[in-house]
Chain A
Amino acid sequence: MENPGYAREPESPWVFRAQLATLIGFSCFAALVITWIGRLIYISWVLADVFSASIGIALVAVPIFLGLAIIFNYVFWGLHRGRQQVQLPSADDAP
């Protein structure tokens, strides 16, 4: 593959802040859904309203949202840790 051969400018600190805001937003969304499911379980427990059904659904749903949040965090921090300290020519360069 042809290397375009250019140097990228350093990113503004606002870029990282915006990225962090996205990560926090996504993690909060997952946490909110899990909290909501927890609330439904609590209500079904208090009202003795087929508690087992709520637990059954939660056992499937909570790990999915938790897993997605973990994967997104893993990608976010993994890519940031994987950056090289020196200025790179281009993102096109595959190893």
Chain B
Amino acid sequence: MTESDWRKEEDAILFQPIFSTGWRFYATVTVLGALVLWGVISYIVQYREGLGVTGMGFPVSWSFYIINFVFFIGISHAGTLISAILRLSQAEWRRPVTRIAEVITVLVLGIGGMNILIDLGRPDRIMNLFYYGRYQSPLLWDATSVTAYLTASSVYLFVPMIPDIAMLRDRCAPGWRKFFYQTMALGWEGTPAQHRVLNRAIAILAVLVVPIAVSVHTVVAFVFSMTLQPMWHSTIFGPYFVVGAIFSGTATLLVAMAILRKVFHLEDYLQPIHFNYLGLLMLVMVLLWTYFTFAEYLTTYYGNEPNEMRVFFSKFTGKYALFFWGMVVCNLVIPFPILAINRLRTIGGTVIASVFIIIGMWLERFIIIVPTLANPRLPEYAQGSYFPSIVEIGIMVGCTALFCLLYVLFSKLFPIVSVAEIREGREHTEEIVHKRLSRYAPGLGKLPQVNP
């Protein structure tokens, strides 16, 4: 098969972005590249001048970078966790969704981790972590768990992708790209023995990544809750962060699906039912997030501890009220009716709800971090305020653009929807589902023969 032959086969649309490059690709890369450059220049300014160029100071010493770290790590739950759960529960509709989700995880984890390095005024001091790290610090738990999750997610993205890489290898003309695909295909030929190895590895990985994913955001929450700062020292922060992470992750996945569907014409693969199912999952997350938020704030209010009440009222009626109520509107008031009413839970509806949720969840991270630092517990520390500088905004835009750019480049190298899984589903889904149903549905006989 030559590179031109791929057009004649089934699922050709999935190979199209890889083998044909239009002006839109170059335009997108240029725009995103320019935004990344803005971020790089901003970082160079910060590196040369020090953290004084940011809006951070005393007592607000954590802000945009840590907010983005928590936000990006949260989004990472879109991929591996959702994909692993769908795989383990044998949800057949997962097939076009899993890869889109897994790529998000790997990319945002890298960018989230990068924000920690950016937050260091002296990045060369990162080596101290390797030489003199102390494992009783939750910051080091974080470093370990994020590294573990990034490694596990990368392997979990790569292993199911091997059959697709082999297809690309077989469709490529000799050159660097063929060599690249040959190397990454690990000699895949689709033999029964290879299928056995691959399926076993995917099953083990799917089981392994779920607890890792949950632990990562729990540990991120521990960074805050292990301190005695007002409104951080909470026992429910771990699960609250995990719920928020799945919430924002699902929203990001839905936005990514809608964009890819439109840009790559994947209407046959990403059907309204996928958006509907993920919309329902998001509806559950809206309710769970609301429940946790309510529980967290009610407990603080009822306790009426003076230091906590200062933070509480700065969020409810004070300086940060706009952000707090903005978060409530974006995370509950707008998405809840859209996702709860069947007629509104369309592709457009779920995407609108998702965009609001992404904004709302970023605001939530802001609301958790900044008001507490601005109202510290110790009375001798004065109250502070925070306003981001242009350098921080530049780095944040750069990080977001870097994620989009890497996503675009990934979709240029690999099919963004798993071709092998789609084909496997097309051939075997009916049989697999029937076999599963016959295990618990009484009286279900043999699969009816379908006339060709």
Determine if A1 and B427 form an interchain contact, defined as CB atoms under 8 angstroms apart.
yes
B133 to chain A, nearest CB (A): 5
CA distance A57 to B145 in the complex (A): 10
Q: Mark A51-76, 1 if CB is under 8 A from B, else 0.
A: 00110111011001101100110111
Contacts A1-B10, A71-B155, A75-B159; is A90 near B170 (CB within 8 Å)? yes
Q: What is B's interface to A at a CB cutoff of 8 Å?
A: 1, 5, 9-10, 130, 132-136, 140-141, 144-145, 147-148, 151-152, 155, 159, 162-163, 166-167, 169-170, 174, 179, 182-183, 185-198, 200-201, 204-205, 208, 212, 215, 420, 423-424, 426-427
A4 to B11, CA, bound (A): 13
Task: Please name all residues of chain A whose beta carbon is closer than 8 Å to the beta carbon of B185 when the two chains form the complex.
Answer: 91
A48 beta carbon closer than 8 Å to chain B: no
Residues of B within 8 A of A74 (CB): 197, 200-201
Most buried by B among A29, A92, A93: A92
Contact of B197 (CB < 8 Å), options: A9, A79, A84: A79
Return chain B residues, CB-CB under 8 Å to A78: 193-194, 197-198, 201
In the complex, A49 Cα to B136 Cα: how many Å? 9
Chain B neighbourhood of A18, CB < 8 A: 179, 183
Complexed CA–CA distance, A51 and B197 (Å): 39
CA distance A33 to B145 in the complex (A): 12
User: Does A31 reach chain B (CB closer than 8 Å)?
Assistant: no
Which residues of chain B have C-beta atoms less than 8 A from A90's C-beta? 1, 170, 190
Contact B132 A82 (CB under 8 A): no
Query: Which residues of B lie under 8 Å from residue A4 when comparing CB positions?
Result: 1, 5, 9, 170
**A57-B135, A78-B194, A92-B167 in contact; A71/B183 too (CB < 8 A)?**
no
Q: Give the dominant DSSP class at A's interface.
A: helix
Instruction: Tell me the bound Cα distance from A65 to B187 in angstroms.
Output: 25
Given contact pairs A6-B1, A72-B155, A75-B186, A81 touches B193 in the complex (Cβ within 8 A): yes
B148 near A64: Cβ-Cβ < 8 Å: yes
A19, A40, A58, A93 pick with most chain B CB within 10 angstroms: A40
Q: How far is the CA of A74 from the CA of B423 in the complex (A)?
A: 25
A interface size (C-beta, 8 A): 54
Residues of B within 8 A of A6 (CB): 1, 170
Contact between chains at A79 and B208 (CB < 8 Å): no
State the CA gap A50–B167 with chains docked (Å). Answer: 52
- Chain A residues lying within 8 Å of B148, measured Cβ to Cβ, are 61, 64-65
**Contacting residues, chain A, for B147 (C-beta < 8 A):** 33
* C-alpha gap A74/B186 in the complex (Å): 12
Q: Are the CB atoms of A64 and B191 closer together than 8 Å?
A: no
Determine the distance from Cα of A92 to Cα of B420 in the docked complex, in whole angstroms: 8
* CB contact under 8 A between A64 and B10, given known A37-B144, A83-B189, A84-B191: no
Cβ of B141 and Cβ of A80 under 8 Å apart?
no
- Smallest Cβ distance from B47 to chain A, in angstroms? 26
Q: Which residues of A contact B170 (CB under 8 A)?
A: 4, 6, 8, 90-92
